[in-house]
Amino acid sequence: MKPLVSVDELARLIDQDDALVVDCRKELSSPDSGRRAWSAAHVPGAVYADLDVDLSDLGKRDLGRHPLPDEAAFSDVLGRWGWRPDRPLIAYDDAGGALAAARLWWMLRLIGAQSVGVLDGGWAAWQASGLPIESSEQIPPREQVSVHYAASQLVGYEDLQASLKDGSVCLLDARGAPRYRGEVEPLDRVAGHVPGARNRPFTDNLEANGQFKSARQLAEEFTAIIGPHVPQTVVHMCGSGVTACHNLLAMEIAGLHGSRMFAPSWSGWISDPGRAVAVGGEP
């Protein structure tokens, strides 16, 4: 499945009764906002994914604000949703895919799933289409699921530091420019960025209507940022490993395959006061 799915394509999958639709809406300032929104109205048949509960393990320390859940915990979540490896999964939210549809898409790719996509334009596009919505909760039959993360797609602290030192990776920070430069920091205790990181705000991936830019435009923009680096040497980060997935998704849409994730991101990086911090513009 291609990583980006249109409203019409999702509607056909739902008509064929052949898709698991997952509502990933979330407001970071209001933990229950996404579930309330889902309860009020959602794409027919959609289950709800809570970023803090289903797609993260907030009990882990020193791995950022949204650490990845253990493989067993994520397996249980997927089983509760009725997911199977041969069943297409389409995720959506109301933030252009950034909170937290792209996160779920990336986690599915991390376990090797191929039939997974993000709804282009998300909830707003579905509503604008005039297609049916519902508020009832459907409990899918539970499946037995056991998944494993591809460790090769994850970059840890030591590997990142060594790779930045020898220049073998291009680190892209998906946060807004003022946060990257250290001018403001609304969420974490230290402002700034990882020395050597370049800034690609995830919002630059979207048109004014909340849909993704064309594959060609995304390819041109990311190629200009990463320069001589090939996609496989690109590593993504953000504040907590959520909006960084949006940049990884955008690169896949652009045909720039194989970039990886520094999942702890900025909030994990600053958990050790000994790690260097940079402020100001790009190197």
Q: What sign results for the dihedral spanned by CA atoms 167, 266, 201, 180? A: negative
Instruction: Choose the catalytic residue: 24, 170, 238, 245.
Output: 238
CATH number of the 4-129 domain: 3.40.250.10
Residue 136 to residue 36: CA distance in whole angstroms:
12
SS3 for 173?
strand
Is beta strand 260-261 parallel, antiparallel or unpaired with respect to 4-5? Answer: unpaired
Residue 283 pLDDT greater than 90, yes or no: no
Stated pTM of the model: 0.97
What are the CA-CA distances from residue 83 to residues 76, 77, 89, 107, 113 (Å)?
A: 10, 9, 8, 13, 11
- Reported confidence tier of residue 18, pLDDT bands at 50, 70, 90: confident
Domains 4-129 and 151-269 share a fold: yes
Do residues 195 and 160 make contact, with C-beta atoms less than 8 angstroms apart? no
Beta strand 260-261 pairing with 234-237: parallel
How large is the C-alpha radius of gyration of the chain?
A: 18
Tens of pLDDT, residues 21-30: 999 999 999 9
Q: What are phi and psi of 91, to 5 degrees?
A: -105, 150
- Give the domain 151-269 fold: Oxidized Rhodanese; domain 1 (3.40.250)
Quote the tokens at residue 111.
């376990």
Quickly state the pLDDT bin for 183 (edges 50, 70, 90).
very high
Span of 11-20, 54-63, 111-120, 243-252 with lowest mean pLDDT: 11-20
For 268-280, what is the mean pLDDT? 97
Extents of the domains making up the chain: 4-129, 151-269
Contact 243, 98 (CB under 8 A): yes
Residue written as token pair 């109205």: 41
Task: Please tell me the distance from the alpha carbon of residue 157 to that of residue 264, in angstroms, as a whole number.
Answer: 9
**What contacts 265, CB < 8 A, 6 or more positions away?**
64, 237, 238, 239, 240, 241, 244
- Mean pLDDT of the chain, nearest integer: 97
Task: Fill in the DSSP letter of residue 53.
Answer: T
Report DSSP state, residue 17.
Answer: T
Q: How far apart are CA 32 and CA 73, in angstroms?
A: 21
Catalytic residue flag (residue 238): yes
And the tokens for 278?
A: 């940079």
